[in-house]
Structure 1
């Protein structure tokens, strides 16, 4: 043995290929086929992480997804991935990994001081201690501290550079789990002509066969598994190793395939692939998880599940200790005694909780040279950062020096997916475990998940399940030949029921290693009335987060049952929820990110903007000019100049991104009357009107102007962000509520280029370039619509004003947009016309108190915005009933107001408005520097009881960004209150 690497054995490793990796900043070496966990054990690394609450050292405890101690972070920068389970991380050259929840290092963690305060921070301590403290201490002191301490890892703060994919698949039979049962189920279904998908979370198909020393059909068990998987692939089955089926969603399964392990794969493969699978029949072959035992000191590094130690020896050629002991409650653990002794590992003792140990098991302990303590238990362990020894409690117990303790309290069927599908777990006294209850139609279970743990049973029930699935689908089924096992079959070691679940009373006996939940915490939950299983879970955090109760659930329920003096089934069990194991957000998103899912849209004048100093900002799906920078200017200087130009001369802004919907047909006016709060039926041809739409619940949905271009033809404009939503709203209403209306709605957003020309010289500028329109005030009044031409290009011009100045909107065909823009710029050159962006546009509309997206946030009503007089009392419209609910007209609601900075400092958008009460009474929605108001810093806001508080002084505070500005509440219409400038 070199280090902890055995000289022989290891069916899953390649001893000729060495791999280098880094853990916690130190370089190590491993072998191809290793996992991070097996490589760390081989290198003698005992402390892999720190626990959540007490920061106790944690080592490797398992060999699969049930790992609760060795949670690690992988990668660096944007590829950093927290909460990976070390036994599920394949070792690759250059792997970078680190422990979690420790500072400054795993070896010396300052947070371990929490262990000294254990009695003070038991289950539910924050509810009882902090919330009941002096006023304000929770929000100002304790909550921030707890939030910073929360979590088991830190997510990356930079973009993930890797690629992810999404796959959709259908099949006749989905087999979940590729252990012996799953392999046989897939083989039987495929032989009957069914389309089969076989998915398994491990690196290779085979499950328990991969660390079994027996032979199947005359070949070693791992070789039998590999050959069977190869035959399935050759026969047309889709075999998905490294693929975790994590959730069931109304007949659809979510699964994540780990395609490559080395980020930035040079072949361009995705890092992970998210599968969405629909199957006509499901075979659940998910196996079982070995259950730990709760006893004092059971969380010390070096305490591990017994079958995991067997897997590390047989599959990875790694000894989990040089001198080990086994603490068991059933016959199956003696397979570990046998195999470790065969590998040359010193098995010093076997502590069995059962007073009488069957002869077959006892003989294995004797053959291994281990002292057998029947009817005893482990009362304590010792050692600092690793195991140094244990104490056997009982009549002839004593102290034993060991560096690994392997525990096994039985098995827990992996029934998470069945529970997600609605199958209630059922307690089985013979198994001392829950197994799946009646499964949904089209589901069949096989193997260890049914409570039959022997390899022979797995092969038999798997084949039978595959045949049953194919028959249920109407396939002709020929009985499949069952594989033959050698005499070393372990059926005799799985027949006896375990004497667990149980626990050994004492201090620091951990039920949930990840969350530091102890048996004392469960006792406290019982004493304080949190006895219902869901209350127990939330009060203690038992089985939450990445664990999902895999190793802790049954033991926790058993301890609560002891306190209640009731059977375990009366305590019940939680309903497992997806995901079964953590799923990366990148896998869920797949390729549906950025421009792939939401292409960037450019207006027809985009190239002109780009060549004239524009800096762009995304508004909805569009890129719009934020401001046009001149030499030496920043955005702030540019938008202040642009806004001043509009107020004193003339400016032009690109409004092509506004939603535009043509509403046409004999009942077009009727439709508009029903969707807008104000009336449109009597709107004359050649006129426009501002309208507001409500949702059915009476909350404002969108606003915009609608132009009547003919008796049965209207052009509706919407906000940029809501264009698609408004179109969908109209289509749904026409399809469901009013299918009798003779009207069509068509998106024409892309067909029109639009620009607004605003300022005192706007009329003069347009009159010089637009033919066919009389721009005189009497001939072309406010809210009128006219048709003309600029050169050979037809245009529609509407006299509208979002800025509060004399203004017109000019629309033309999109392909003429750039030419029309340039003609208007040329006509206005004599007046020093300037383009302006959305920042200046925002300044102009804030000065005029016009509402926009920040105020139309999906929570405000007409009453909140001071627009209640727009709502017609003579007609019904969408939202007209519910908008009149008393609660929506409560004077204490947050209502629309203006704000003026009292110290001249900018007001932060999103800041809370705090008054004498010391509490937030509203928030800032929009803010700007106003050149028209002598450089004042102003804002719009929603304030409780707002209109009645004009003149009151408040504090606009933004604690996140460390900003607080004294403000005075004002009328939101800051500039040109009588509106004379836009009517001139």
Structure 2
């Protein structure tokens, strides 16, 4: 028979409250309070997935976050969520779930067809051994591997829900809502401390909810948990967050936790005004880690067959969800939990056989005669067929004799593995305790970390009595450490006694090595016990190497079921103690975390601060297309009618060269530098001299880092003897200000100088082109704009369109140009006045793309595009901007004298002409000298061919009627006139190295007017 519902008073599902849902296109019904896993099991759904490597059918194995197999895709469209564990998904009306593996279907799977040849095709490290040659096929290999990976699909439309963040500051954070966690939170709160308790489940209680036999002050575990939960709910010092998983514990006791606020609600009942999930960032003086333990399964042949579970999963499904997994059950283990489970299952009506691997002295008295017990017996293998359990082959561990037993469910328990993940997130390691047969964390207060103490099963406690005693000791010591003398009251517990365990992982199958059925250690990544042996034989001996070579502990399971078994098997294969092998590194996140909740409200329009200038609405009204630049939303180009970007940019460029154009330049970084030592400060920051710059004059400067490489550039104006006005690149403004403050505060604190960011204070309009002077003369009567009175690289104060303004005669286009600066609030008004004044000259607004073309025609660089952190001013042909002979040092000066930096054959910035005048070479294209290189069929690049450099800027120039480009090329200035080739997308594009990177007005006559 299949699983069936056994309802009793302790279960958390609501009898009669039916919930309809869909899985893989089939309709089913469950009860309110079910998880998707419990509902599928009671409906007889045993197989949910196909395994990663071998395509083997897999079913639900556990009941919590440790589940390795049952990954599902929940919902569709804008609500689609991949890789949710069915064991953690709460059932709700109308839920839609799909499998995430099995192609083309779950029961007819391509990978499953490889069957017996799978081991030969995919041994340990198969991805390193199998797919290296021929190199050109790697893209094909990669695509196939990704198709067969067996995980969910990224949603194809935007998320319909939203997420937020919340910060907490508390005295104590308790992680875990089991017995130890509940007692810790209550006792600490009653002693006056502010407490936050988080637990990943919807109902507090942990294992108390699954233990049907123990009594606490005379009531059941579930009732006792409910009573503690109610006390916490009423306590003014306590905040309780259920459905909240602490997934990371960082330095300084910063804990991150995700709360699922609406994931358990039907889509139609979710409140759009509330977030779906919330990320909690918690700062706590002390973290009490009560994260419990996870039962680890035994390893035996075909232990991945649907119908094989952990013992604790069967108890949870029965006692919490009222689901009896089957009528004929075999239980195998090395601890007394197998007998408690046998009693519960037998009382529910199942026929139970227990195979105890220990040679124990007696069978517990509470085991009825209906339960058959075999001592010193293990499971050799599961007998499977058609994707489900048919029976098991038991093996006598003393004689080696075997017997077959018919059953439909197999349960196993190899002991408990404390959930130490959070404890280890700061690189701490748990220690192997041979008596507890587990990797544990300190259980005494004096041995705990200063900021974290541990209580309950995470320390290796195996009984309720041990847990309560250890928790009481920790709490007394913790409170005493804070000057609080407290009496810790704990309940009276009645529980069954437990006999000692015997360490067991891989059960023998009585067959020669490598000849038996596959025995899996990691179910999600198809790692077998034999794989670990092979890895050791191939001389991978560090546990981190073993992990990566076999791939155990990867994926969403993160080693919760597999890691400790893998450590023990590695130790056995190496013939060393388990403690010598130790553990791998546990890292955040403990369980999968959605990208949405990590982003929170930083999504869509709020992903990054969106900065707009005062002229923005004018740009919108004129149909501008925008691009983000350093958080600023800048006009990209202004299309007219049906123009595409190319037509619009060509028109804008010609207008600026032949008539007049106007650009919003407000986004340029602007830093005001004040103080009697301002000149000296600039001398040290810039590579050229500033001592003699007079008020009213401007100078272009290059800013270098300590290595002598260009990091920013801009024009700085002298306002007065003790005040300068520096401009930077739009994207570099914040970085430059931080750079100035760094050097002033850490290296030159004696200089009397201070910096103020004034980027937002000024609105800047660049009026560019041969007719720009005429436009300014219409707007301003108190400035003489003649070339003699107002020469290039000067600035003047005056009144423009009735507004106090600073007018700079500078140019980033190589044309006669002026930059008008007014208080930012007047920017919109001034823009409209400039447009009106220039109407008779057909003034044309232009955007950043046109700006790029104009400056490239003039050979002006853009830092970060034509430079990459490895380019000096000399490489750029801008030695004129470096004062190596000036009597003071500047940042980067010493580095420019290094032998490598000073050599003459470095990469140089040069101009180039594509031989096909209409071909615009893709930026980033690599440059080679040989036209006869072999172009790989896959479109890749032959690594044996020397690369000379790359294209940094490339455009079509409407003014020149041809394409142009700039590039950094090895020994470029000595290659003038040579034909070289740009390699891009499998094609070679010939070009000629130009004798200059200045394509328009090499003598500068246009900008001087």
TM-score, shorter chain, exceeding 0.5: yes
Looking at structure 1, the residues matched to 153 and 564 of structure 2 have their Cα atoms a distance apart, in angstroms, of 30
Residue 319 of structure 1 and its aligned partner are, at CA, apart by: 2.1
CA separation of 1:139 and 1:675: change in aligned 2, threshold 3 A: farther
Work out whether 1:469 is the aligned partner of 2:478.
Answer: yes
Partner residue of 1:456 out of 458, 461, 465:
465
- Compute the displacement of 1:170 (Å): 1.9
Say if 1:49 and 1:99, in contact at 8 Å, map to a contact too. Answer: yes
| 1:937 alignment counterpart | 963
In 1: Cα distance, 2:47 partner to 2:776 partner: 77
- Does the Cα contact within 8 Å between 1:173 and 1:469 map onto a contact in 2? no
1:239 shift after superposition: 1.2
The yes-or-no answer on 1:608 pairing with 2:618 is: yes
> In structure 1, the residue corresponding to 2:187 is in which secondary structure?
helix
C-alpha distance in 2, partners of 1:351/1:791?
95
> Residue 936 of structure 2 aligns with which residue?
none
Q: TM-score, normalised by structure 2?
A: 0.91
Q: Paired residues, what number?
A: 970
Q: Which residue of 2 aligns with 1:580?
A: 590
> Is contact 1:331–1:498 with CA below 8 Å preserved after alignment?
no
Gap change, CA 1:794 and 1:945, over 3 Å in 2: same
Match of 1:528 among 505, 520, 538: 538
Residues 73-122 of structure 1, C-alpha deviations (whole Å, 9 max, x = no match): 22333433322222111112222222223322223222334543322221
Distance across 1 between alignment mates of 2:122 and 2:430: 33
Deviation readout 1:831-856 (Å, 9 max, x if unpaired) = 21111111211111222222224234
**Which stretches in structure 1 are left out of the alignment for 5+ residues?**
none
Structure 1 residue 387 displacement after superposition: 1.9
Deviation string 1:738-762 (CA, Å, 9 cap, x unpaired) is: 2222122111112211111111222
- Distance in 2 between residues matched to 1:686 and 1:308, nearest whole Å: 81
- Farther off after superposition, 392-401 or 536-545: 392-401
Corresponding residue of 2:128:
127
The answer to whether structure 1 residue 498 and structure 2 residue 502 are counterparts is: yes
Match of 1:656 in 2: 666
- Other-structure match for 2:981: 954
Correspondent of 1:298 among 277, 282, 303: 303
Deviations 1:443-499 (A, max 9, x none): 32221112111122223323333333222222231x23221234xx13x13x41233
Query: How far apart in 2 are the matches of 1:864 and 1:381?
Result: 73
Q: Answer whether contact 1:9 1:343 (CA < 8 A) is retained.
A: no
| Shift in Å, 1:148 | 5.5
Aligned to 1:702: 712
The within-5 A match list for 1:49-64 is 49-64=49-64
Determine helix, strand or coil for the equivalent of 1:601. coil
Match of 1:870 in 2: 881
The corresponding residue for 1:635 is: 645
1:177-196 correspondence runs (5 A): 177-196=176-195
Deviations 1:653-688 (A, max 9, x none): 110111111111111111111211222222222111
Q: Is the 8 A contact 2:332 2:355 kept in 1?
A: yes
Which residue in 2 is equivalent to 1:907? 921
2:775 and 2:70 map into 1 onto residues whose CA distance is 72
Whether the 8 Å CA contact 2:73–2:152 is kept in 1: the answer is yes
Provide the secondary structure at the position in 2 that maps to 1:14: coil
**2:512 matched residue in structure 1:** none
Q: Give the corresponding residue for 1:855.
A: 866
Instruction: Name the residue aligned to 1:312.
Output: 317
Structure-2 separation of matches of 1:968 and 1:946 = 11
Segment of structure 1 superposing worse, 121-130 or 800-809: 121-130
Superposition map of 1:965-976 within 5 A: 967-970=991-994, 971-976=996-1001
Is 1:549 aligned to 2:559, yes or no?
yes
Whole-angstrom distance in 2 between the partners of 1:898 and 1:717:
26
Q: 1:170 to 1:969 in 2, by over 3 A?
A: same
CA distance in 1, matches of 2:668, 2:815: 19
Kept in 2: contact 1:13–1:315 (CA 8 A): yes
For residues 131-150 of structure 1, what are the alpha-carbon distances to aligned partners after superposition, in whole Å with 9 as ceiling and x for unaligned? 3x34x346555455445655
Q: Which secondary structure state, in structure 2, belongs to the residue aligned with residue 933 of structure 1?
A: coil
Provide the residue aligned with 1:540 in structure 2: 550
Matched, 1:376 2:371: no
Structure 2 CA distance for partners of 1:599 and 1:281, relative to 1, 3 Å: closer
The 3 A distance-change label for structure 1 pair 373 and 380 is: farther
User: Which runs of structure 2 are paired with 1:405-424 in the superposition (5 Å)?
Assistant: 405-424=410-429
Cα distance, 1:949 vs structure 2: 4.6
Question: How far, CA to CA, are the matches of 1:859 and 1:39 in structure 2?
Answer: 61
Work out the CA distance in 1 between the residues paired with 2:733 and 2:467.
Answer: 57
Aligned mates of 2:386, 2:927 — CA distance in 1: 53
8 Å Cα contact 1:432-1:501 kept in structure 2: no
Residue 196 of structure 1 deviates from its aligned partner by: 1.3
SS at match of 1:896: strand
User: How far apart are the structure 2 equivalents of 1:947 and 1:705?
Assistant: 27
1:204 aligns with 2:211: no
1:563 to 573, 585, 594: 573
Q: Is the 8 A contact 2:794 2:809 kept in 1?
A: yes
Contact 1:124–1:540 under 8 Å retained in 2: yes
Q: Secondary structure at the match of 2:417?
A: strand
Give the secondary-structure state (helix, strand or coil) at the position aligned to 1:691: strand
Query: Corresponding residue for 2:513?
Result: none
Alignment partner, residue 939 of structure 2: none
Question: In the alignment, which of 893, 903, 913 is matched to residue 880 of structure 1?
Answer: 893
Give the whole-Å Cα distance in 2 for the aligned partners of 1:500 and 1:668.
75
Q: Tell me, in whole angstroms, the C-alpha distance in 2 between the residues paired with 1:107 and 1:892.
A: 64
Q: Residue 972 of structure 1: CA displacement?
A: 3.4
SS in 2 for 1:188: helix
SS in 2 for 1:270: coil
Q: What SS class does the counterpart of residue 785 from structure 2 fall into? A: coil
Which position in structure 2 is the counterpart of 1:357?
Answer: 360
State the SS of the aligned residue for 2:959.
helix
Is residue 779 of structure 2 the alignment partner of residue 775 of structure 1? no
Shift of the alpha carbon at 1:512? 0.8
Q: Deviations over 1:862-920 (max 9, x none)?
A: 34434345232133223333455555567776543445444434433444446646346
Give the whole-Å Cα distance in 2 for the aligned partners of 1:945 and 1:458: 73
The worse-fitting range, judged by mean Cα deviation, of 221-230 and 581-590 is 581-590
Q: Which moved more, 1:824-833 or 1:331-340?
A: 824-833
Alpha-carbon distance in structure 1 between the residues aligned to 2:776 and 2:586? 68
SS class of match (2:524): coil
Q: CA contact under 8 A between 1:422 and 1:440: conserved in structure 2?
A: no
1:979 aligns with 2:1004: yes
- Given that 2:506 and 2:529 are in contact with CA atoms closer than 8 Å, whether structure 1 keeps it comes out as no
Seen in structure 2, the aligned counterparts of structure 1 residues 206 and 679 have a Cα distance that, compared at 3 Å, is same
TM-fit CA distance, 1:947? 4.1
- Residue 314 of structure 1 deviates from its aligned partner by 0.8
> Shift in Å at residue 708 of structure 1?
0.9
- The 3 A distance-change label for structure 1 pair 732 and 432 is same
Q: Is the alpha carbon distance of 1:863 and 1:563 closer, same or farther for their aligned partners in structure 2, counting shifts above 3 Å?
A: farther
Structure 2, unmatched stretches of 5+, are 510-515, 934-941
